[in-house]
Amino acid sequence: MSIIKTLDITKVYNPDTVPVHAVDGITLSIQEGEFTAIIGPSGCGKTTLLNLIGGLERPTTGSVEINGEIISSKSKRQLTNFRLHNIGFIFQAYNLIPVMSAYENTAFIMELLGWPREEIKARVMELLEAMDIADKAHQRPNQLSGGQQQRVAVARALSTRPKFILADEPTANLDSHATGSLLDMMLQMNEREKTTFIFSTHDNRVMRRARRLIKLEDGKVVDDAWK
């Protein structure tokens, strides 16, 4: 089943001065359960495409559809609510809240959505155990390694069982061991919970594990291959 569709989307920055076509007429369909990487050189439009799919930016033209809903026409408030309920985000810089523990960071979105306390506790510990950091539950980000912080970020993204996860260069700041371990855990969650993962990356370690590679150049899809 297709959960994401983009129809001829473009994103043009500085349209009135020196136009930059960051995304240039991309039509894509992403199926439920994919483990897909968007690849290409720096400046090719990877992050912009991810932001358009996630509703963090609006397309200049074209539309983005998620589960049959056109999100590109929603208001800011509607988009915020939609993202909370449907999309998990993982960023290169982790974006954890520094004054919160690993447990509290993982629980944060569930608390925003009003989950019952016992359900939150069970889900947080399930995820921290799956990420092999249950023993770090009460430590703050500055007490964790980069790899451990990114595991917390993955746990937080998965916490509400979103329709899909958008991961923007999630391994860029990690060493080889931490990257391999993290990606294997994501694959396990993809297989166990059927969560769809879409990566923006130029990391060969991510590409090797991805089942589909969508290559961009100058804002256009130049190759789309399943392994």
Domain boundaries along the sequence of the chain: 2-226
- State the pLDDT confidence band at 220, using cuts at 50, 70 and 90: very high
What is the predicted pLDDT for the residue at 225?
Answer: 95
If 0-12 CB within 10 Å is exposed, 13-18 middle and 19+ buried, where does residue 180 land?
middle
**Cα 32 from Cα 137, distance rounded (Å):** 31
Mean pLDDT of 50-68: 95
Q: Which segment of 15-24, 55-64, 105-114, 152-161 scores lowest on mean pLDDT?
A: 15-24
What is the predicted pLDDT for the residue at 1?
Answer: 76
What is the predicted pLDDT for the residue at 63?
Answer: 96
Instruction: List 38's β-bridge partners, or say none.
Output: 200, 214
Tell me the pLDDT tens digit for each residue of 125-181.
999 999 999 999 999 999 999 999 999 999 999 999 998 999 999 998 888 888 999
What is the predicted pLDDT for the residue at 177?
Answer: 87
Q: Cα 200–203–208 angle (5° rounding)?
A: 100
**Helices within 13-158 (DSSP H only):** 46-53, 76-86, 102-112, 117-130, 146-158
CATH number of 2-226: 3.40.50.300
Tell me the pLDDT tens digit for each residue of 108-131.
999 999 999 999 999 999 999 999
What is the predicted pLDDT for the residue at 72?
Answer: 85
In percent, the amount of the chain with pLDDT more than 70 equals 100
Tell me the pLDDT tens digit for each residue of 197-208.
999 999 999 999
Q: By the 8 A CB rule, do 127 and 158 touch? A: yes
- The DSSP line for 85-126 is HHEEEE-TT----TTS-HHHHHHHHHHHTT--HHHHHHHHHH
What is the predicted pLDDT for the residue at 110?
Answer: 96
Q: Which amino acid is at 67?
A: N
**Cα 215 from Cα 213, distance rounded (Å):** 6
Answer yes or no: is pLDDT of 92 > 90: no
Mean pLDDT of 180-198: 92
Token pair belonging to 177: 């061991």
- State the pLDDT confidence band at 64, using cuts at 50, 70 and 90: very high
What is the predicted pLDDT for the residue at 224?
Answer: 97
